[in-house]
């Protein structure tokens, strides 16, 4: 769907991960050499099971690893052609990376209005904040209706919208979403994904999407990476991934039932790849 | 016991109570942002008063200038304490954090007295000691001034927490991780709350220094301030103000009735009992935050 | 080096649960015990009774507090109040004519009874709120001690302790008093050492780590909290009584004020939570530190030819004591016990320390 922009920017991705390793507590190796690219203005999905290392990858990019006593021990992360070494999370937000963390995590005791305001950069003028907030309410009209209730009392879908809106207030060029569909009704997932796609198309915002709900994710992204056990085991366009029988079997829940031999074969191939 | 006397006890108690609120606001500021119970607030109050006196007596600076200078100095002292001592303890068991604030309390008290000595000195704000007559009631002037300052500070903080900076501080107290994720510097925010608490300590120290003169006993306000803060809910400034009034009245009226029976000194006992009862019956205090259940 | 693990193989559960499986540990403890026995012969009586004796008694106190704070994880800021209960009940009982053996037992039981009241607070709340409640209880006790003349003889009064006798033998000599303190400290140490490998010790640790998870596993956390508070208070009571009997010789309220509670907690934290060796080291450091700071400062002042204000000098120990706590929490929050363990671990594998991981 974004094929034109994608081919234009293949040579100049906005985000490049070059075989990074992540170490927790200086002993636990959670990511073992992940490489990936997000094209400028593109949408990329990071798929995989629980504990595969998807969230850790996002935290490595946003710098939130530090809060969990983890660090990138090897490899480099390049954003917009610049290596982001050990910089603090707030500096990365200022560069234009924003991470919508898993589980929504809105500021519960603030109103949606204040949630949005808290995320606005310090340099932003009052006037700008106001117009930016208006823009968010245009994207998410549901939030406008409840803008002065305490955010902790919003429904799950509204909280997710607020979390995304709050992230957009930081004026990101790369938006990273961690499981936005978690615990939401399918129609809400569709609504939220539509909006993300719309922002991507209108503003040229690059998106890195982490999902377990591979069906929904592959509908909107142009390409996807598959992570298992802290390694990238597959990378292809969304169409190819959707068509891949292994992916269908393990992540899309469709496909025909395979016999045991095939599964063993798949597992062996995976081990060899990783 | 006639009604006028009871009313006088209550009103004076409420005024004194607002002065406890002044102290408790400092505790609430730190607790709200970082869930650290700052047991060093008493020592900071004492240090604040001593710094004011150091400028006004030793250097001869007029009091109206000495107070703002002390406020600025203590602002940075608060920032420094957070950065040096508390930041690296984040995530450690609460017993270590408590011990750290107790250690800070002992250290600040000890070094303040080592530098300036323990003899008690007057603050000399120039508030008259003559009682103020409000109808049939006899009120203390300095308590009225202090209560007014306390209420003014309360209003100022209400507005502060609506400002952009204040919203960010409230965001930090809600969720560290989410704050980082949108580029709010949690460290700076927590540091700022310590700095503000230290500024409040200077103001508390000046008012209380005028009431009971400046010496080591200023740090003993901790028990009362702590009781007020817990009764108010530890993270609510409004709670601290109302709980202060409540505790002041209970203490003043209660001790007037109890003192003749037990032979004096029942104030501290009443305060300790209020603290125990609060924790036992309603640990979240009057206005403490109940964590919101997701609906 | 020194600590050799090689050649130690356990073939039965009994040998596996030995107190000191490594010979070096056993020998070291034995050596220290003999040193403690011989101390009156080796150390000048002045030092013995003004340094070693209080150190041993405060170590026993720290071990008692460590039981409830370190092992069971319950914050306690009113430990001195419990010690006061023991001290005053023992002295009153002895003045009433009860033999000291029973007076000490009464002290322990009275403290255990009052200490269990603290445990009821621990049933309702934990963490910070428990700390605040116990702190408030300490203030209540301070108030009682200074306002009830029947107990203390009135405010600022002190209560003379009657002559100390054990088993009909009057104990007045310096060495005798020392051995009483030493014996008590050894008893408490042996109790705590063994507690770690019993069901009680494991239950306490389970309650500390997650009390409701412990409850799911069938550990009655309420029961164990009360047991922890009662046991620790029993130790506190007898320790408080012995402190009066062997060191102060009279009981007065300020010996058991809130600062003393903070001091014992400081010993536990500086020593290390749930560390026995740490309690010894922590008590030593906190007790010796003020005197050391004082002499260091006056020596420096003398050397530089400064005139030190006596008042300044009087407050420096306090500042140094606070600084010590702060620095420890900044540098090694797990305390001296952890530092000792690091050294021991180093020797355990030396010179093959690359094998550690």
Between CA C194 and CA C18 the distance in angstroms is 10
The number of domains in chain C is 1
In total, how many domains does chain B have? 1
- The pLDDT of residue A271: 56
Residues of chain A below pLDDT 50? 1-10, 274
pLDDT at A261: 64
* Predicted confidence (pLDDT) per residue in C107-161, tens digit: 999 999 999 888 888 777 878 888 999 999 999 988 888 888 777 776 567 788 8
Annotate B219-243 with DSSP letters as a single string: GGHHHHHHHHHHHHTSS-HHHHHHH
Q: Which residue has the tokens 């650290």?
A: B36
Calculate how close chain C gets to B24, using CA atoms only, in Å.
Answer: 15
Question: Is residue B288 a part of any domain in this protein?
Answer: no
Q: Smallest Cβ distance to C69: which of B95, B226, B273?
A: B95
> For the residues of C24-84, what is the DSSP string, one character each?
HHHHHHHHHHHHHHHHHHHS-HHHIIIIIHHHHHHHHHHHHHHIIIIIS----S-HHHHHH
Contact C207, C221 (CB under 8 A): yes
Q: What is the pLDDT of residue C61?
A: 95
Q: Give the CATH number for residue C187.
A: 1.10.3470
In a domain, B282, yes or no: no
pLDDT greater than 50 at residue B279: yes
In this complex, the chains that touch B, judged by 3 or more CB pairs closer than 8 A, are: A, C
Judge whether C262 is closer than 8 Å to chain B, CB to CB. Answer: yes
pLDDT digits (tens, 9 = 90+) for B87-135: 888 778 888 899 999 999 999 999 999 888 888 888 877 777 777 887 7
Helix, strand, or coil (residue A159): helix
Radius of gyration of chain B (CA): 19
pTM of the model: 0.87
Kindly identify which residue of chain B lies nearest to residue A165, measuring between CA atoms.
B182
Predicted local distance difference test score (pLDDT) of residue C300:
83
- Domain spanning A13-243, CATH architecture: 3-Layer(aba) Sandwich (3.40)
How far is it, in rounded angstroms, from Cα C66 to Cα C109?
19
The first and second tokens of residue B83, run together, are 């950065």
Give the number of C-alpha atoms closer than 13 A to the C-alpha of residue C218, restricted to the C-beta side.
Answer: 1
Q: Is C9 on the interface with B (CB under 8 A)?
A: no
Q: Using an 8 Å CB-CB cutoff, list chain A residues near B183.
A: 89-90, 92-94, 98, 119, 121, 170
Q: Where are the domains of chain A?
A: 13-243
Residues C125, B276: C-beta atoms closer than 8 Å: no
State pLDDT tens for residues B5-59: 888 889 999 999 999 999 999 999 999 888 888 999 999 999 999 999 999 988 8
Say if CB C335 and CB C328 are below 8 A apart. yes
Q: Which chains touch A (3 or more CB pairs under 8 A)?
A: B
Residue C9: inside a domain: no
Integer Cα distance of C227 and C221 in angstroms: 10
pLDDT in tens, B151-203: 999 999 999 999 999 999 999 988 889 999 999 999 999 999 999 999 999 99
Q: Which domain holds residue C340?
A: 34-356
Q: B101 to each of A135, B39, B47, B226, how far by Cα in Å?
A: 45, 5, 15, 13
C5-13 — which CB contacts under 8 Å span 24+ positions?
C5/C348
- What does the CA dihedral C268, C271, C272, C275 come to, rounded to 10 degrees? -90
Domain that holds residue B58: 3-222
Q: Distance between CA atoms of B206 and B199, rounded to whole angstroms?
A: 11
Q: Report the 3 state secondary structure along B113-150.
A: HHHHCCCCECCCCCCCCCCEEECCEEECHHHHHHHHHH
pLDDT at site B154: 93
Ranges of residues in chain C with a pLDDT under 70 are 1-3, 6, 154-156, 352-357
**pLDDT score recorded for residue A6:** 43
């Amino acid at each position: 769907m974004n094929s034109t922009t994608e081919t234009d920017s293949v040579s100049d991705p906005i985000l490049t991960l070059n075989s990074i390793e992540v170490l927790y507590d200086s002993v636990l190796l959670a990511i073992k050499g992940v490489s990936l690219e997000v094209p400028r203005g593109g949408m990329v999905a990071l798929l995989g099971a629980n504990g595969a290392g998807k969230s850790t990858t996002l935290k490595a990019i946003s710098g939130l690893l530090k809060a969990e006593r983890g660090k990138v021990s090897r490899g480099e992360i390049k954003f917009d052609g610049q290596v982001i070494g050990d910089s603090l999370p707030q500096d990365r937000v200022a560069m234009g990376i924003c991470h919508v963390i898993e589980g929504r995590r809105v500021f519960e005791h603030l109103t949606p209005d204040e949630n949005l305001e808290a995320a606005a950069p310090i340099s932003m003028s009052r006037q700008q904040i106001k117009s930016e907030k208006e823009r968010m309410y245009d994207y998410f009209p549901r939030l406008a209706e409840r803008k002065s209730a305490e955010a902790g009392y919003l429904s799950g879908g509204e909280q997710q919208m607020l979390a995304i809106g709050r992230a957009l207030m930081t004026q990101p060029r790369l938006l990273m979403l961690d499981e936005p569909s978690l615990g939401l009704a399918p129609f809400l997932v569709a609504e939220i994904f539509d909006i993300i796609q719309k922002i991507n198309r209108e503003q040229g915002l690059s998106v890195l999407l982490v999902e377990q709900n591979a069906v929904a994710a592959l509908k909107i992204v142009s390409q996807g990476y598959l992570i298992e056990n802290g390694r990238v085991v597959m990378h292809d366009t969304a169409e190819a991934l959707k068509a891949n029988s292994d992916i269908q079997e393990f992540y899309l829940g469709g496909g025909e039932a395979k016999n045991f031999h095939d599964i063993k074969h798949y597992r062996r191939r995976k081990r060899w790849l990783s | 016991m006639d009604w006028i006397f009871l009313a006088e006890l209550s009103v004076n108690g409420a005024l004194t109570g607002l002065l406890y609120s002044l102290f408790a606001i400092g505790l609430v500021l730190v607790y709200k942002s970082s869930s650290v119970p700052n047991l060093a607030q008493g020592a900071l109050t004492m240090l604040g008063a001593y710094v004011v006196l150091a400028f006004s007596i030793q250097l001869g600076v007029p009091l109206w200038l000495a107070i703002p200078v002390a406020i600025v100095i203590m602002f940075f002292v608060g920032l420094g304490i957070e950065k040096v001592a508390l930041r690296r303890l984040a995530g450690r068991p609460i017993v270590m954090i408590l011990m750290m604030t107790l250690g800070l309390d002992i250290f600040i008290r000890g070094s303040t007295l080592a530098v300036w000595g323990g003899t008690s000195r007057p603050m000399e704000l120039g508030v008259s000691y003559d009682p103020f007559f409000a109808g049939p009631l006899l009120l203390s002037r300095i308590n009225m001034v202090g209560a007014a300052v306390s209420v003014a500070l309360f209003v100022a903080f209400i507005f502060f927490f609506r400002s952009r900076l204040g919203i960010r501080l409230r965001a930090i107290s809600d969720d560290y991780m989410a704050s980082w994720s949108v580029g709010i510097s949690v460290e700076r925010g927590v540091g700022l709350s310590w700095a503000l608490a230290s500024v409040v300590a200077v103001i508390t120290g000046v008012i209380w220094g005028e009431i009971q003169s400046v010496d080591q006993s200023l740090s003993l306000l901790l028990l009362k301030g702590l009781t007020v803060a817990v009764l108010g809910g530890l993270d609510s400034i409004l709670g601290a103000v109302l709980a202060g009034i409540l505790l002041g009245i209970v203490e003043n009226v209660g001790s007037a009735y109890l003192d003749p029976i037990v032979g004096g000194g029942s104030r501290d006992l009443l305060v300790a009992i209020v603290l125990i009862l609060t924790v036992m019956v309603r640990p979240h205090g009057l206005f403490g935050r109940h964590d919101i259940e997701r609906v | 080096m020194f600590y050799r693990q090689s050649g130690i193989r356990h073939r039965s559960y009994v040998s596996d649960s030995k107190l000191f499986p490594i010979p070096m540990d056993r020998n070291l403890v034995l050596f220290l015990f003999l040193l403690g026995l011989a101390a009156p012969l080796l150390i000048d009586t002045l030092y013995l009774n003004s340094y070693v004796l209080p150190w041993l008694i405060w170590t026993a106190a720290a071990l008692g507090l460590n039981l409830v704070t370190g092992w069971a994880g319950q914050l306690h800021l009113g430990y001195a109040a419990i010690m006061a209960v023991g001290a005053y009940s023992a002295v009153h009982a002895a003045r009433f004519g009860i033999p000291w053996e029973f007076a000490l037992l009464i002290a322990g039981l009275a403290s255990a009874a009052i200490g269990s009241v603290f445990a009821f607070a621990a049933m309702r709340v934990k963490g910070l709120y428990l700390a605040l409640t116990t702190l408030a209880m300490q203030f209540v006790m301070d108030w009682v001690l200074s306002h009830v003349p029947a107990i203390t003889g009135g405010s600022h009064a002190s209560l003379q302790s009657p002559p100390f006798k054990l088993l009909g033998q009057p104990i007045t000599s310096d060495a005798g008093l020392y051995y009483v303190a030493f014996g008590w400290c050894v008893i408490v140490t042996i109790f705590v050492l063994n507690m770690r490998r019993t069901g009680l010790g494991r239950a306490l640790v389970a309650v500390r780590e997650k009390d409701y998870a412990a409850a799911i596993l069938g550990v009655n956390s309420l029961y164990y909290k009360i047991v922890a508070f009662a046991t620790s208070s029993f130790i506190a009571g007898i320790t408080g009584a012995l402190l009066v009997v062997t060191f102060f010789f009279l009981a007065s309220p300020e010996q058991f004020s809130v600062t003393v509670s903070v001091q014992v907690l400081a010993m536990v934290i500086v020593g290390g939570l749930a560390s026995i060796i740490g309690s010894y080291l922590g008590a030593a450091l906190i007790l010796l530190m003020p005197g050391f700071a004082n002499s260091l400062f006056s020596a420096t002042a003398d050397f530089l030819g400064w005139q030190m204000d006596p008042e300044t000098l009087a407050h420096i120990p306090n500042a140094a004591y606070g600084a010590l706590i702060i620095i420890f929490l900044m540098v090694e929050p797990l305390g001296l016990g952890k530092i000792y363990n690091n050294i021991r671990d180093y020797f355990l594998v030396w010179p093959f320390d690359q094998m550690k991981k």
